[in-house]
Amino acid sequence: MLGDQARHFWMARSVARVMGLNLAEQIDTGRLRPEEYQVMVAACRGCALVEQCEKWLATHCDLARVPPPGRRISAPLTRLRRAK
């Protein structure tokens, strides 16, 4: 079962922001295609680790170099972070 689309859209953006990434900027610069962004949000919607992700977001005030462990969107976020 997929989670709420709006909730996961904002969670994906929030994880990226904690990693120092602005996903809209990544699209504007061509580092992230809109289709890839849609796939990321869909993958986030299917993740079973929502509560752990929310806790991770709540405890990270400083930039994090890596996303929370085990997340379905870890690979694309890590790739974007390395390209930054």
pLDDT at 35 over 90: yes
Mean pLDDT of the chain: 91
Instruction: Read off the pLDDT band of 63 (50, 70, 90).
Output: confident
DSSP code, position 69: T
Low-confidence winner among 21-25, 30-34, 70-74 (lowest mean pLDDT): 70-74
Show the domain range for 34: 5-83
Residue 35 contacts residue 16 (beta carbons within 8 Å): no
Residues 20/63, Cβ–Cβ less than 8 Å: yes
Which percentage of the chain shows pLDDT scores above 90? Answer: 73
Distance between CA atoms of residues 41 and 51, nearest Å = 16
Determine the Cα–Cα distance for residues 33 and 55; give it in Å rounded to an integer.
29
- pLDDT(71) > 90: no
Per the structure, the count of domains in the chain is 1
